[in-house]
Amino acid sequence: MPSPGEPVEAFVALGSNLGDPPDLIRKAMGHLDALSVSPVRRSSLWWSTPVDCPPGSPVFLNAVAALRPRNGETPESLLARLQDIEREFGRRPKQVRNEARPLDLDLIAWGHEKRSAPSLILPHPRAHQRRFVLEPLAELAPDLILPGHRSSVRDLLRTAPPDSALRRWDAEMLRR
C-alpha cells in the first residue's frame, strides 16, 4: 500500500486489432508517459484471440502499462483521458459490441480502489478472467491482488481460460 502522499499505481490494458497494432500501441504508450509522474512500466506485447467479438474479428495485440497518476488525478479523470487518447487514435462510437478497433484502453486497477458506477468499475470486472490481460499484467505485478479478489495475478493466470493463439511478440518493441 502506498504511503501517504505517494502516488498510487494504476494499471492500464492496451489492445489493438485494426491498422498497425504494434505502432499504435507503441504510440499510445508514449501518451501514457505524459499521464504519469514516473516512467511508465510496460509489458511485452501479446497476440490474442478476440474474446466476445463479432465473427471474423482480427486478432488483438495486447499490453499492460503501470503508471503513477499525476497529483489530483482520480480514476474517473484518468479514464476520461484514456478515452480521449482512444478517440485521438481513431476510435469511433460503438456500432457493434466488441467490434474491431484501432485502440482500446481499459483502466484495470487504481491502487486498492473499488468503484461500481455506470461509467467506471474498479477493478475491471473481467480482468481476472482474461488471459490477454493477466499475461502482460503478470510481467509487471505478479503478486498484485486485485481489490475484491483473494488470489494474486500469478494465481489467477494459472486458472484463466486457455487461449491457443496467445503468444508473446517482440518483448523489446516498446522499449525502443
Q: Which residue of the set 42, 106, 130, 131 is catalytic?
A: 106
DSSP state, residue 106: E
- State which H helix or E strand residue 23 sits in: helix 21-33
Residue 20 in grid coordinates: 498497425
Determine whether 91 is an active site residue: yes
For the chain, state the CA radius of gyration.
15
Separation between Cα atoms, residue 48 and residue 104, nearest integer Å: 14
Q: Which among 42, 68, 104, 130 is annotated as catalytic?
A: 104
Catalytic one of 42, 68, 81, 101? 101
Residues with Cβ < 8 Å from 37, sequence gap 6 or more? 7, 68, 69, 70, 71
Catalytic residue among 41, 70, 91, 154: 91
Amino acid, res. 54: P
Asked whether the CA dihedral 135, 16, 67, 106 is positive or negative, the reply is: negative
Q: Do the Cβ atoms of 64 and 133 come closer than 8 Å? A: yes
- Distance in angstroms (rounded) separating the CA atoms of residues 61 and 168: 9
Whether 68 is a known active-site residue: answer no
Active site residues per annotation: 91, 101, 104, 106
